[in-house]
Structure 1
């Protein structure tokens, strides 16, 4: 169980669309609005987990055409977000929007987030620790995942707000944007390589 918890922590702590967008929404709109977005991400993540555990994801992805369509749609959207971050100029943007994405935006992001599927598939199909009962193991995994997921996402939200308040030099802000975009593109690249 401790190995599973460590895997959850390290897999979720790495920058991906969910945590980067959480930091961005926090930076752009503040804690109250960003908390609604994090709630959407939370719901979306748990829906992804349910789809994986129930086999719905496997059934959908069994159709090569649908899998390819969903894969390219996800890659295109995440590349678009990464480019928006990279070219935000000298203002720390993470992801810039005129209006906050809200709960629905969080759910939809997780629905197309390849990292959410990759990480949760690895966590829920591997790291067995309760062979006596599949149901008990899945329930414990949901509890552990969420107990780690929540503080990690609120840490990234706080980071986004903190970075925005620092009033950093323009060049530093540009470097942060490029680093965040590069992190997101690494997730996109890893997802692409996993399909080869």
Structure 2
């Protein structure tokens, strides 16, 4: 009788051990992964910030070619004109926009001038004594030292900048305003006039069509 009981207990143990061997396999054994590997799959991967604040000096073109999304304040002293230029500057994916306030004693003290570079084109427009002057030009013209393009801040001029990450990028700022008609710089050059002549005498130069504004 005692032997029967012992055999019964052994049979139960065999069944229990067999059950756990078949159905009690750990998740680690099923997946073939260690606990550390499983934790890495569950834990979110931290994203690194692609842009950090920048404070220093350099050119607008240097900032544009960084390929980062930034919004900046810019200050620049035009030694040739003796004027101080201050403004804002946005750059994203190779496009840029600057809006500047320029000291201009000959033109009621201040001139508001803006520029956009996008798709190999530059757009420049300025409010001078209540009149709007606007031109567009291929970037290749800027590389031609014989052409006076008169953008408010030249792309290769050294400026002081204070830039922060532009988190909520709005690419509409790189679209030229719809209510401004831009004269084509190449067409102006064919008439023998350069954009710089617009500032001489404060008047509208011959060949520049103001009727569209």
Q: Same fold (TM over 0.5)?
A: no
Greater per-residue strand proportion = 2
Q: TM class by shorter-chain length?
A: under 0.3
TM-score by length of 1: 0.23
- For the pair shown, which has the larger CA radius of gyration, 1 or 2? 2
